[in-house]
Structure 1
Amino acid sequence: MEMPKVVLASALARWLPDAQGASGEVALDVSGATVGAVLDDLFARHAALRGYVLDEHGAVRHHVAVFVDGQAIGDKRRLDQPVAPGGEVYVMQALSGG
């Protein structure tokens, strides 16, 4: 059975201990059928990422964007959006400023 994949943009991938010195995105196979379950599996392996991606209420932080198969998640507080087997969850830091 195909597993979903999480792709971390380079700004987040640099926080992975095994990606030190790597440049670019990092893709990881994970388990889970929802965005929340996929992220939980990611954080079980890389706990330090949780604080960069989620706030203290468990919502995706304002400065982070999450996409499922190319579509931005609609509500950063609801992580029950489905992720298909073989689907891709892309996590990146959003740009802000003016």
Structure 2
Amino acid sequence: MAVDATSLTADQLDTYIVARLTVSGIDLNMLPTVMDPATGVPTRDQALASLRSFVRSTPGVINSWRPPAAESGSEPDALSQQASPPMEYPSIIEAWTGQGEER
């Protein structure tokens, strides 16, 4: 179920942000609670405020972007899908599938 981020409260967004960062191995509790002018490291509250602003505005724009159609009448959704996405380790795939073997 899609939820519009602008309809969420600050506490709901904070819970979402902290959960997503925790899954990625990032702990906001490591940030200071008081501003340190010597280092300029943001406080936890500053980081959450910035992330709330980002989540409310940017992901929807990123998610709805489609590449421009190359030809008039082309389907933009079809162009946004790659038939063969790039492989991270092509040599392993070639070895598994036998594509790299000489015939």
**TM tier relative to shorter chain:** under 0.3
Q: Is the strand fraction higher in 1 or 2? A: 1
Greater helix share, structure number: 2
Between 1 and 2, higher relative CO (CA 8 Å, sep ≥ 6) is seen in 1
Larger Rg: 2
Tell me the TM-score normalised to structure 2 length. Answer: 0.22
TM-score, length basis structure 1: 0.23
